[in-house]
């Protein structure tokens, strides 16, 4: 069968295709897998309880399994290392697990956490020395993930 296209049809077809693709909402679903945790993350934690405050900033490197490979931090003004840790990533972006630091062998375990749709940020509430703290982790490498 011989196909015939008039001059204007390629333009129309291309525009229709583009319009359909562009119509995908910004909040489309995302698929998460454990490997999305791999890489370097900057970590920021803040919490307060009665007259005590705690704050931490540092860097962690996680492997494909979400396990801590290396990392250092400053906790309440004291420089120290991350001793260990592991983070889990659920299929909907939920974060579990925790990170342990040298000072007092303190563990910041996620009570609730969420990776964003671009897979570059993690926000959550973690256990602290005295009371739950707010944690933010920001990916230091890689590109934002496209939406599925």
Partner 1 sequence: MGRHKNLVLGLGLAAWLLLLPAAPAGAAFEGPDLDGNWEFFALGYYEVFTTYCFGSLTVLDGEIVAGSGQYHSAPTTFRGSLGLSPGGQVVGNIAGRYDGGEYHYEFVSGQMNPRKDTIVGSGRNHNWWMCTFYLVKTN
Site residues (CB under 8 A) for partner 1?
Answer: 5, 7-8, 10-15, 17-19, 21-22, 24, 26-27, 29, 46-51, 53, 92-93, 111-112, 114, 116-118, 121, 123-125, 131-134, 136, 144
CA proximity to 122, closest of 130, 133, 112: 112
Q: How far is the CB of 144 from partner 1 (least distance, A)?
A: 8
Contact 60, 99 (CB under 8 A): yes
User: Closer to partner 1 at the Cβ: 12 or 42?
Assistant: 12
Q: Are strands 107-115 and 121-126 parallel, antiparallel or unpaired?
A: antiparallel
Q: How far is CA 8 from CA 3, 16, 19, 71, 98, in A?
A: 15, 12, 17, 59, 59
User: Closer to partner 1 at the Cβ: 46 or 63?
Assistant: 46
User: Closer to partner 1 at the Cβ: 105 or 143?
Assistant: 143
Q: What are phi and psi of 69, to 5 degrees?
A: -100, -45
User: Closer to partner 1 at the Cβ: 65 or 140?
Assistant: 140
Measured between its terminal Cα atoms, the distance across the chain in Å is 37
Q: How far is the CB of 30 from partner 1 (least distance, A)?
A: 8
Q: How far is the CB of 52 from partner 1 (least distance, A)?
A: 9
Q: How far is the CB of 44 from partner 1 (least distance, A)?
A: 12
Two tokens, residue 71: 């990392």
User: Closer to partner 1 at the Cβ: 72 or 144?
Assistant: 144
């Amino acid at each position: 069968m011989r196909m015939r296209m008039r001059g204007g049809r390629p333009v129309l077809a291309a525009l229709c295709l583009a319009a359909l693709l562009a119509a995908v909402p910004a909040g489309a679903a995302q698929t998460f897998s454990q490997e999305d945790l791999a890489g370097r993350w900057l970590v920021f934690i803040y919490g307060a309880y009665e007259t005590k405050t705690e704050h931490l900033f540092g860097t962690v490197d996680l492997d494909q399994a979400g396990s801590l490979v290396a990392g250092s931090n400053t906790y309440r003004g004291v420089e120290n290392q991350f001793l260990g840790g592991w983070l889990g990533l659920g299929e909907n972006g939920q974060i579990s697990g925790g990170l342990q630091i040298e000072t007092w062998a303190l563990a910041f375990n996620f009570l609730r956490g969420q990776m964003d749709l671009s897979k570059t940020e993690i926000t959550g509430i973690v256990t602290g020395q005295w009371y739950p703290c707010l944690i933010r982790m920001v990916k230091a490498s890689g590109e934002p993930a496209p939406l599925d």
